[in-house]
Every structure is written in structure tokens, then in C-alpha cells.
Amino acid sequence: MRFVRQFEFADLQSFKLALAREKTLPAEVMPLDPLVQDDDDLSTMMHKLSQTGIAAVRDLPDELDQSAVQSAITTLRQARHIYLVGVSASALVAQDLYLKLIRAGYVAIFDHDTHTAVERAYYTTPADAMVVFSYSGLTKEVVLAAQQARRNQTPVIAVTRHEPSPLREAASCVIALPPTEPLLRIGAVTSMFTETYVANILFLGVVQGEIKKTEQNYRATSQLTSELKIRGEKYVNRRLNDRAKKSGQHTHRHNDNA
């Protein structure tokens, strides 16, 4: 029902009727992706994207299998090494979770090169864990990595759509995403929203039991990386001058109103 409302249909029946009408049209006039059309202006596209993002995550807490999510969190908390795997758009989600985990003090591994990721899967152990992001669940590289990890008795958590796939078969734990996006589309949008949501909830669940330690790690790493910030004198002076100008403008307006 949420998917139907995302495209502004009142109910499932009206959606089915519209779909039936579309099927009678020549293939060349059917839009590849309703998110963007030839006659859309910028405002229309922005509102479409906002509505799509809200709709994509609004009902996820009820649609996701929370027992599977909790099982994944428990597995990640206990893992010696956490392997993150993804290709293309899903690689961005995997890398983001990787960056969050290493800053929080966990031993996480992510490879941009998917062949390297497959090779590294050979060395996984039962004490490790692997999280694989793939909306389709059909991408060979991630499936091979998952299959190899399972042969090593490594727990494999698959974040993928709620449809049969080789990745689902290879995983020991599946966090199934609602199939709100076709595999042929103009860029991964709703799938990115939902995958990122799951990645973030996994991260929050992992660190939730060690908040004080995580805060200490974040402060320490922030202090360390602060040395990489550009703190030239001209930038400090520019910032002070900008503040002075704003303060002067405010005083001038106040005097005019007096």
C-alpha cells in the first residue's frame, strides 16, 4: 500500500487500473522512471525526490523483520572483523558503514575493488561477520563473496530486496527490503534510501551498548583529525570580519528603527 501511495494513487485498485492502461501503450512511450520526466521542472523533481525519500523510509520500522535486524546487530557486536561488501550504488552504502565502524573503534574491512573483496572473503573465519548490500541480490561478485564466507562458516548478513535471489540463499541472516524499485531504473534512489536506513540502524545498534566508549573514540579521533583542518590566519580573520559586518548591519538596522 505504501508503494501505491508513493505514486499518488488512492488505493490498490486504482493503481491496478492505471497499470492495465499503461500496458496497452507502446513500449516506447512508457516512462523508464516516474521520478523524472521530460516536462519536469526543477521544483517538480525536488518535490518528487523528497516525497519518494519520505515514503521509502516512513514505514520501514514495520516492514523490516526486526528479529533479523536484532540478530544481525548481535552478530556484528561479537565479530572479530566486519567485512562490508557492495557494488556500484550499494558500495556507497557499504563504505559509509565501514567509515562509521572504524571511527567507532571496530575492525572493519571494505574493498573498492570487488575482485579483491572476493579474494579477501577466502580468509574470513567463523569469528568474523560479513554484511553484503545488494538490492537485486544477483550481482556475481557479492554473491561469490557471500558464498565463500559461508563455506568458511562466517555469518553473512544480506541486505537485499524481498525477492528470491542467490544472495538470499547464501546468507545466514537476511534483512529483506521492500521491493519498491524496479531493477531497470534511472539511478538507484529508493533502494539507496532503504539500504542506508538499514546500514545506519545496524551501526546505531552496534554502538548502542557502548555509548561511552564510542563517545571517547569520537572525541579522540576528532582531536587527531583536527590537525588536518586548514586553520590559516587569513581564514580566521575573514570569519571575524564577516561577523563584525553582520553585527554592524544589525546595529544599523536597530538605529534606523529607533
Which domains are assigned to the chain?
Answer: 2-58 (no CATH), 64-213 (3.40.50.10490)
Q: Mind giving me the DSSP string for 144-198?
A: HHHHHHHHTT--EEEEEESS--HHHHH-SEEEEEP--S-SSSSS--HHHHHHHHH
Q: Give the pLDDT confidence score for residue 234 in this predicted structure.
A: 62
- Whether the per-residue pLDDT at 144 is higher than 50: the answer is yes
Lowest mean pLDDT of 80-94, 166-180, 185-199, 217-231, name the range.
185-199
Task: For residues 168 and 147, give the distance between their C-alpha atoms in angstroms, rounded to a whole number.
Answer: 10
What pLDDT, in 10s, does the model give residues 192-213? 889 999 999 999 999 998 888 8
